[in-house]
Every structure is written in C-alpha cells, then in structure tokens.
Amino acid sequence: MDFSLTEEHIMIRDAARDFANTELLPGVIERDNLQKFPKDLVKKMGDLGFLGIMVDPKYGGSGMDAISYVLIMEELSKIDASASVIVSVNNSLVCYGLETYGTEEQKEKYLTKLATGEFIGAFCLSEPEAGSDATSQKTTAIDKGSHYLLNGTKNWITNGGRADVYIVIAQTDRDKGSHGINAFIVEKGTEGFHVGPKEDKLGIRGSDTHTLQFNDVKIPKKNRIGVNGSGFRFAMKTLSGGRIGIAAQALGIASGAFELARKYSKERKAFGTEICNHQAIAFKLADMATDIEAARQLVMKAAWEKDQGKNYDYSSAMAKLYASKVAMEHTVEAVQIHGGNGFVKEYHVERLMRDAKITQIYEGTSEIQKIVISRSLLRD
C-alpha cells in the first residue's frame, strides 16, 4: 500500500494552496463580514480548472481524478470555506450529475459552460418540509405532454442567487414514491422562477444561499435528466460524491485551524515560555493532528474508491461524518488555544469554527450519514 501522493497530485495541491494564500486570503474576513460573494475569484477558479475538476476535457473540464478534487477542496477550505462550497456544489452536484446522467445535448449546452466556470450551477433538493427526508418532495413537475409544469419551493440553495443553471428535483408521480421523482434542468430567468432573499448565515457567509420559488414554470421535456422516475437515485448518487467534497472541506477547515493554532502556540508566551511548551496545549495539538490525519485517510479512501469505480456511498458517508466532527471539535480547540485572540476576527479561527458547523448539516446531516452507514452495515 502506497500512501504517498504522485508528483502530479503534489503539483495540483500546491497550485490550490498558492491560489488560496495569494487570492482567497486577502479579502476573506471582509467577504465574511459583508456576506460578499467572491464573484471575481470564482472566475479565477474557473480559469484554473477548479470548477470542472473531474469533467472530461471534451466538455471543457480538467480531466482530473477525485484525489485531485479532495486535495483542491482541502487547500481552498483551509482559507475560505465559502469559496470551496461553490467549487464543491458545481463539481459534485451539478457537473457530475450532468456528465454521468445527462444527454449529449444537455452536456453540450450546459456542462461545457459549467466545467469552465462560464456558468455556475445549483442543486435544488431541500424543501421547507423535505430536508433530511428527501423522498417527501412537495415540489411537483406535472407532465403536460409537451413540457413539465413545475411548482414548489426549495430551501437553503447554495449559489441560489448566482447560478445560471439549476438542477431541480421534483415529484412527478406521488403514487410511485421515490420512483416518481425526477431531476430537471432549469435555466436562470425562466418565467415563473423567483429567487427569494439571501439567508443571513452563521458561517460560510461569503457563499450565496437562497430560497427559490417555482410558480407554473414550464420545463421543456428535453430538460429532464435520465430516464423517467430516476430522479431520487440521481440525487442520492450525486450526493454521495458531494459528501466526499464536503468531507474534504471539513478536513480543510480542521487542518487550517490546526495550522493557525500550532503557529500561534509557538509564538504566544505565558508563564515564562511559549504556550506550546505547556502540556495542556501540546496535548491538544497532538490530539488535533491525530484526528485530522485519520479524517484525511477516510477522505482519501472515499476519493480513491470513486476513482476505482467502486461503490463509495458507505465510505463517503463515513468520511463526511468523521471529518465534520473533527472540524467542529478542533476548530473549537483552535479558538481555545488562541485564548482571547481566538474570539477576534483577524485571527481567522473564529470564522473557521463558524464555518465548520455547516459541514455537519448540509449534503446530509451527521444523523443521515449514520443512516447510510448503518443500513450499509446491516444489509446482507
């Protein structure tokens, strides 16, 4: 077994690290304060190939593997988890779904632009009454012969006010339960499609989260993704890959906070010595480093399984469950190591602590990951 990264992976990681430090870092506190979407930076990430990391170059993508994806996600998330969630949603929930299940026409029209960052994508599954319980979709898409008529509300949609292309999951036949659900492509500006106010969030404040309203929106038949009734499985498969991305985001938040705490502990003095010389701090650092490394192995394993064409539902749920727990616990520790300074924005760790929380909630709460893991364990 070889745990080392290839030269190519190291180059990709270093390119993402360099971009995060030179481009994302300078304005990250301001964007968090003002809830400012990083529009120009998204364009730059598109130019670097970060918005279509795993997409085939024939559709404008970078043609990289899932290991590269998690390396990029970790590096961006060390500095700015708002920027990295835009990358994750576009790659995992939008590009992957279209490339894997879309028609050639859909790929030509949408994927080619999403993979380069000319377009941004959003994935619309959650509803006011269907967050974790995703089969209980209230949004309906009624087959009207020449088109579908879409009605309903979607909540907590990342890139909600900024996207050009929205993948919307809706019920087409209630009697068929999860087999009566479909996924549709909805373009920005379609008549009857309204973007609600932006959410004022605890964390990832630079990302753009909205409620969306669909009132008698006409969806051309050719905008359905996959065969009739395949929308729920489409959503679950895309979310499995999304969970690898969010696990890598959580890993990045944790490792970013750890690095700040480690450096701070070697500079800050108390009781006549640098605080890292006190076991109370040194042992915290040892625990943090150990847990972060364990999270990294889970994230890498899930990405590796995806690259090998294996089923990664189980490993992605485990990676997300564990990495998000580590992110939450150890960003709190990073604040503690910083003492009063940790409570101040300029030291960055309080933002990382706030950003960590969402990794235990979106793309399936920790409880949902436990459902996925335990069902998989108990299936014979």
What is the contact surface with ligand CAA in residues (CB under 6 A)? 89, 93, 123, 125-126, 132, 134-135, 157-158, 178, 232-233, 236-237, 239-240, 313, 362-364, 368, 371-372
Per-state percent for the chain, helix, strand, coil, to nearest 5? 60, 15, 25
Task: Compute CA distances 326 → 20, 252, 283, 333, whole Å.
Answer: 22, 11, 16, 10
CB of 357 to ligand CAA, least distance (A): 13
Local structure of 52: helix, strand or coil: coil
The residue among 212 and 337 lying less far from ligand CAA, judged by its C-beta, is 212
The residue among 181 and 276 lying less far from ligand CAA, judged by its C-beta, is 181
Burial 219-252 (b: 16+ CB within 10 A, else e): beeebbbbeebbbbebbbbbbbbbbbbbbbbbbb
CB of 233 to ligand CAA, least distance (A): 4
On the CB side of 249, CA atoms within 13 Å amount to: 31
The residue among 42 and 337 lying less far from ligand CAA, judged by its C-beta, is 42
Task: Categorise residue 35: left if φ over 0, alpha if ψ from -120 to 50, beta otherwise.
Answer: left
CB of 124 to ligand CAA, least distance (A): 8
CB of 155 to ligand CAA, least distance (A): 9
CB of 179 to ligand CAA, least distance (A): 6
**What is the distance between the alpha carbons of residues 366 and 326, in angstroms, rounded to a whole number?**
12
**What is the distance between the alpha carbons of residues 92 and 360, in angstroms, rounded to a whole number?**
18
CB of 137 to ligand CAA, least distance (A): 10
The residue among 258 and 314 lying less far from ligand CAA, judged by its C-beta, is 314
**What is the distance between the alpha carbons of residues 306 and 288, in angstroms, rounded to a whole number?**
27
The residue among 132 and 297 lying less far from ligand CAA, judged by its C-beta, is 132
**What is the distance between the alpha carbons of residues 271 and 290, in angstroms, rounded to a whole number?**
27
Asked whether 253 and 352 are in contact (CB, 8 A), the reply is yes
Helix ranges (H only) for 23-168 are 28-34, 39-47, 66-79, 81-88, 96-101, 104-106, 112-116
The residue among 134 and 261 lying less far from ligand CAA, judged by its C-beta, is 134
**What is the distance between the alpha carbons of residues 333 and 380, in angstroms, rounded to a whole number?**
40
Question: Among the options 187, 259, 363, 367, which is catalytic?
Answer: 363
- Does the active-site annotation cover 363? yes
Q: Which residues carry out catalysis? A: 363
